[in-house]
Amino acid sequence: MKKVYASAAEALEGLLSDGMLIAAGGFGLCGIPELLIAAIRDAGTKNLTVASNNAGVDGFGLGQLLETRQVKKMISSYVGENAEFMRQYLSGELELEFNPQGTLAERMRAGGAGIPGFYTATGVGTVIAEGKDHKDFDGRTYILERGIVADLSIVKAWKADPSGNLVFRKTARNFNAPAATCGRVCVAEVEEIVPLGSLDPDGIHLPGIYVHRIVAGTHEKRIEQRTVRKREAV
């Protein structure tokens, strides 16, 4: 089975459709599938629901899809760095389903593991719990959260081999791995494709059985917030 593609656009060919649910990996601007996001923007696919830890920043990452009005709903944990997101949400142009960060990660993991739902105490007594099933276990109240099964997963990894085995780098591992497993189809962009057999089996973070297509490319790797101290006088 051919998994390696020449470009992000080719890797997404035949997979995009209006109204689909996309699970996107990344944490802040760390480990985001920036090439695949740009290819979705260029494809013009619209009315998207995107499950992602955050919504990028203005003009970069998922922020590009917000600027072009291709996203109708976000399922997110943190959206504080995107002014366009805030504007669209407050004006009623964008739907938002807030999730506690751990709950969102577990919803993706559960979907990938074939688990339709799970109970968690996180969010009990808050707006997060409104309309959800409540159940008591051992004297404590929990709410039912549903697993996420996406039409498409887009993720970013550090290395891959031609079979799709992935290695993530540092913080990029936290949401990319669960996002990858919960999609019916997973497309991964990577910094480097190495020969088959060169990855240490014990160092593989995501087995290739979850990954259907791979594309290698050059990444911008922006820093979300850069803070520097003033130079001291000599």
CATH of the domain at 169: 3.40.1080.10
Task: Report yes or no on 206 lying in a domain.
Answer: yes
Structural domains of the chain, count: 1
Task: Report yes or no on 99 lying in a domain.
Answer: yes
Q: Percentage of the chain surpassing pLDDT 70?
A: 99
Q: Give 75's pLDDT tier (boundaries 50, 70, 90).
A: very high
Mean pLDDT of 190-195: 97
Check residues 227 and 54 and name the one with the higher pLDDT: 54
> Residue 157: how many CB atoms within 10 A of its CB?
29
- In angstroms, the CA 84 to CA 65 distance is 11
The pLDDT assigned to 171 comes to 86
The pLDDT assigned to 1 comes to 77
Range of the domain at 60: 4-116+147-216
Q: Half-sphere exposure (CA, 13 Å, Cβ side) for 220?
A: 14
- In angstroms, the CA 123 to CA 113 distance is 23
CB 226 within 8 A of CB 201: no
pLDDT at residue 232 is higher than 90:
no
Alpha helices in 32-136 (DSSP H): 34-43, 63-67, 83-90, 101-112
pLDDT at residue 218 is higher than 90:
no
pLDDT at residue 223 is higher than 80:
no
pLDDT at residue 183 is higher than 80:
yes
Task: Report yes or no on 135 lying in a domain.
Answer: no
The pLDDT assigned to 154 comes to 98
Q: Give 234's pLDDT tier (boundaries 50, 70, 90).
A: low
Task: Report yes or no on 100 lying in a domain.
Answer: yes
The pLDDT assigned to 59 comes to 86
Task: Report yes or no on 225 lying in a domain.
Answer: no
- In angstroms, the CA 53 to CA 74 distance is 10
- In angstroms, the CA 47 to CA 234 distance is 57
Task: Report yes or no on 134 lying in a domain.
Answer: no
Question: Each residue of 117-131: pLDDT tens digit?
Answer: 999 999 999 999 999
Task: Report yes or no on 173 lying in a domain.
Answer: yes
- In angstroms, the CA 213 to CA 164 distance is 7
Sheet with 140-146, edge to edge strand ranges? 117-120, 140-146, 134-137
